[in-house]
Amino acid sequence: MTVVEQQALIAPHGGKLVDRTGPRPEGVDRLEQLPLTSRELSDLDMLATGALSPLQGFMSRHDYERVVEEMRLERGLPWALPVCLAVARPPQGDQVALTDESGRPLAVLEVDDAYEYDREREAERCFRTTDEAHPGVARLFGQKPFYLGGLVTVFERQEPPFPELALDPADTRSAFAERGWRRVVGFQTRNPIHRAHEYLTKVALETVDGLLIHPLVGETKSDDVPAATRVECYRVLVEDYYPADRVVVSAFPAAMRYAGPREAIWHAICRKNYGCSHFIVGRDHAGVGDYYGTYDAQLIFDELEADELGIEPMFFEHAFFCRACGQMASPKTCPHGGDDHVFLSGTKVRELLAEGELPPAEFSRPEVAEVLIASYRD
Ligand SMILES: [Zn+2]
């Protein structure tokens, strides 16, 4: 990538793309071995690649405290959610080896800080609830009692779940620069894309150079549609309905936190690191159940100055096909009533698909619906 091209894309959060990969140091096997949870493994990989720039490791107390209270890192930069490593007790040495669930060492952490934390307060501030029925709160309340902060060096990366879609921030940035894109909109999704989401992404794409469809493939709750099925949906949809030279599809390795508004900011900052200048925020982004108001994930962006966030959120309404308009629309663009709108509840869609029936073409592309029907048969 030339210097000129690099300047054309948005700068990473904090100004520089972090790279915390490095060679395997001597004596790793003699260090205390610390197995990470699935979410912590996702975070570790994102620390390695700079997806969480400017973070260079799991958060020490000062960053953690200020993030929880003020949505800022200690140095003042906006940051929405803790990126922490929970342990049973402070380690003995000043280095520990971080391993996957099978005990294979992946990284070394230089212990900077080990501190107790207040789960209730973190839940209240970050999730806006302490209800244990909330999946993010349940995970937090089940965590070990200390956080371990410090710089990480990752010498062994986990095999990505979708190797053909595995692009690190440096890779997406190269891909955008090669295509000559400067303004790129990122789309976060953890669901199959139906017509409504296709519409949002295309409306956004009308005003920028390129689109990054960036499905989250880290851990989700068990009733979300499996990542493999979703990935196949994106593949068939993009192949048939998007111009190939305007879209990049890649996997976002993060685990879902279900923190709603704060996660919307966090998702936006991560996509800035991947090179996106814009980010789509729909209704109830990263929400779960009815813990968050419909527009909370959009309103929270008002708490930050636009120039300190850098990436620009693009807010969208719920979209639908309107028979009277004869096209996709939203409450912002359609004057007609609900009778003209093709709307199916999530429950209704699942019923149809489970029966092997295609939802109306105004709601779902048949190619996408076929993938979903096939997944129900397995
Ligand atoms: Zn209409």
For 248-265, write each residue's pLDDT tens digit.
Answer: 999 999 999 999 999 999
In this prediction, residue 249 carries a pLDDT of: 96
Question: Residue 225: its pLDDT value, please?
Answer: 82
Tens digit of pLDDT for each residue in 309-364? Answer: 999 999 999 999 999 999 999 999 999 999 999 988 888 988 999 999 999 999 99
**Ligand 1 centroid from CA 336, angstroms:** 4
Report the sign of the C-alpha dihedral through residues 348, 354, 355, 356, in that order.
positive
Indicate if the pLDDT at residue 274 is higher than 70: yes
Query: Which H helix or E strand runs over 239?
Result: helix 227-241
Measured CA to CA, the distance from residue 206 to residue 343 in angstroms comes to 24
Q: What is the pLDDT of residue 378?
A: 72
- What distance in angstroms lies between residue 339's CA and the mean position of ligand 1's atoms? 10
pLDDT of amino acid 198? 96
> Could you list which residues have their CB under 5 Å from ion ligand 1?
322, 324-325, 334, 336
Measure 237 CA to ligand 1 centroid, in angstroms.
Answer: 25
Nearest partner of 340 among 331, 353, 352, judged by Cα: 331
Mean local confidence (pLDDT), 234-239? 94
CA of 205 to the centre of ligand 1 (A): 22
Average pLDDT score over residue span 27-46: 96
Q: 234 C-alpha vs ligand 1 centroid, how far in Å? A: 27
How far, in Å, is the centroid of ligand 1 from the Cα of 116?
55
Between the CA of 337 and the centroid of ligand 1 the distance, in Å, is 7
- Give yes or no for a contact between 212 and 189, defined as CB atoms under 8 angstroms apart: no
Q: Which residues are catalytic?
A: 190-191
CB 350 within 8 A of CB 192: no
Alpha carbon of 323 to ligand 1 centroid (Å): 7
Average pLDDT, the chain: 94
Mean pLDDT of 352-378: 92
Per-residue pLDDT tens for 136-148?
999 999 999 999 9
3-state secondary structure (DSSP) of residue 299: helix
Q: Give percent of the chain above pLDDT 90.
A: 84
Instruction: Determine the Cα angle at 288 with ends 118 and 365, to 5°.
Output: 150
- pLDDT of res. 261: 95
- Reported as a pLDDT band with limits 50, 70 and 90, residue 7 is low
185: closest CA among 166, 165, 167, 209?
209
Q: Give 338 Cα–ligand 1 centroid separation in angstroms.
A: 9
CA of 186 to the centre of ligand 1 (A): 27
The C-alpha atoms of residue 340 and residue 343 are separated, in whole angstroms, by 9
**pLDDT higher than 50, residue 1:** no
Q: Is the pLDDT of residue 5 over 50?
A: no
Read off the pLDDT of residues 72-109 as tens digits, 9 standing for 90 and up. 999 999 999 999 999 999 999 999 999 999 999 999 99
Percent of the chain with pLDDT strictly greater than 70: 98
Task: Compute the distance from residue 50 Cα to the ligand 1 centre, in Å.
Answer: 44
Contact 192, 229 (CB under 8 A): yes
Model pLDDT, residue 49: 98
